[in-house]
Amino acid sequence: MLSEQTIRIIKSTVPVLEVHGVAITKRFYDKLFTSHPELLHLFNHANQKQGRQQTALANAVYAAAKHIDRLEMILPAVKQIAHKHRSLGVKPEQYPIVGEHLLGAIKDVLGDAATDDILGAWAEAYGVIASAFIGIESDMYTNSALQPGGWSDFRPFVIARKDRESDVITSFYLTPQDQGLIAAFEAGQYVSVRVQIPGDAYTHIRQYSLSHTSGQPFYRISVKREDTNSAVPAGKVSVFLHNQVQEGDVLWLSAPAGDFTLDQTDTRPVTLLSGGVGLTPMVSMLHSLVTTQPNRKVTFIHAAQNGGHHALRKEIEQLAEEHPQVTLAWCYAQPTAADTREQSYHKEGYVDLPWIQSLVPSVDGSFYFCGPLPFMKAVNQSLITWGVPEADRHYEFFGPSGALS
């Protein structure tokens, strides 16, 4: 428990963190990687270069300070981050290192404004928060390792099959090299994939949603190749997986993780909305729904650039054909001439509220959505405008958590 004085001091720093939070986290990562370059094996370097990780950490620190007297308010975020930490292999002994450099970054950025009282209060608060993470993650490590087919750390998997699903998305079917059992997972969860790219000093770890159903003798991930554009460089790992990794090669996986999962106790209609590669957890959810809740009405809405970018379409359409409770709707931003000629989509342009309302008869249901940030913001705002309660809006960011407002 934190003292009243500590709570008061931490609360007083909230306005400062709102202004200087990103500067502090940028300085933190600089100090951390300078002193402990081995930790670069754990971090997504692209997110670092684009500033996404620094912003996500700044938001987390700000939320912790704002709710320091009611830490239960940030428990969902703590659990989400703990899932990520467990999948990456973060260890308890690394938390003191993080604390040391976070306090050092606060001091560097705020200068004399970072008094001994403020640094002392943050040291005490960090200790409490770190203990919470360590406890939650310890349970996750234990549960992951002890479940049937489970394991700790990373395990080698062989690429049994590699299928091109669209112009930009390829699926990888992964089986354990030791030919043993593999852990069950909940639809919507992901695995961390660790690769060593020839010529790179550090390993790279990426999270990819599992795009098939649990209970198979394989895991399937469906990866979008992130090509260079004017805003960002090409995705190092996704390009490596698409262009260099072949059937028979080995990838190292941590056990399934993540809290973006279906509420199986809910029997109301469910709407799955996806944009681009955001369909991967939705396909897994669709497989699960038709198997475990065959009487539950499902509306599956997917937005893609065009038919060439639309992955896993035949698989989804086959599921809908076999299960009449499933309704499908495709939205293409820029359909090709062939798409138009074949009438292979239901709407041109972007997903909007009137179209959602034409497909979903009522707000009385649950809504799951995933995709690029602009898509998620638009969908979330549409659902808010329609009156969908926050408890019925479920979403996941690919990469560091952001804000939808």
Residue pair 298/327 in contact (Cβ under 8 Å)? The answer is yes
Tokens describing residue 162? 């590699």
Q: CA-to-CA distance for 374 and 206, rounded, in angstroms? A: 22
**How many alpha carbons fall within 13 Å on the CB side of residue 255?**
22
Catalytic residue among 18, 29, 72, 95, which? 95
Tokens describing residue 289? 């729904």
Please confirm, yes or no, whether 219 is among the known catalytic residues: no
User: Buried b / exposed e across 324-348, counting CB within 10 Å, b at 16+?
Assistant: eebebbbbbbebeeebeeeebbebe
146 labelled as ligand-binding? no
* Residues whose CB falls within 8 Å of the CB of residue 178, separated by 6 or more in sequence, listed in order: 155, 156
99 labelled as ligand-binding? no
**How many alpha carbons fall within 13 Å on the CB side of residue 38?**
4
Q: CA-to-CA distance for 315 and 169, rounded, in angstroms? A: 14
400 labelled as ligand-binding? yes
149 labelled as ligand-binding? no
281 labelled as ligand-binding? yes
User: Which of the 8 DSSP states describes residue 67?
Assistant: T
Please confirm, yes or no, whether 390 is among the known catalytic residues: no
Q: Partners of 275 in the beta sheet? A: 303
Structure-token match 């975020």, residue found: 77
300 labelled as ligand-binding? no
206 labelled as ligand-binding? yes
278 labelled as ligand-binding? yes
Q: CA-to-CA distance for 50 and 29, rounded, in angstroms? A: 13
15 labelled as ligand-binding? no
Catalytic residue among 29, 137, 165, 396, which? 137
260 labelled as ligand-binding? no
Q: CA-to-CA distance for 356 and 386, rounded, in angstroms? A: 10
Structure-token match 């993780």, residue found: 257
Residue pair 116/110 in contact (Cβ under 8 Å)? The answer is no
279 labelled as ligand-binding? yes
207 labelled as ligand-binding? yes
Q: Which residue, 208, 368, 373, is CA-closest to 280?
A: 208
* Residues whose CB falls within 8 Å of the CB of residue 76, separated by 6 or more in sequence, listed in order: 259
Q: Which residue, 180, 179, 162, is CA-closest to 171?
A: 162
332 labelled as ligand-binding? no
Binding residue numbers for heme b: 85
Binding residues for NADP(+): 276-281
What are the residue numbers of the active site?
95, 137
Query: What residues form the annotated binding site for FAD?
Result: 190, 206-209, 397-400
Annotated binding site: 85, 190, 206-209, 276-281, 397-400
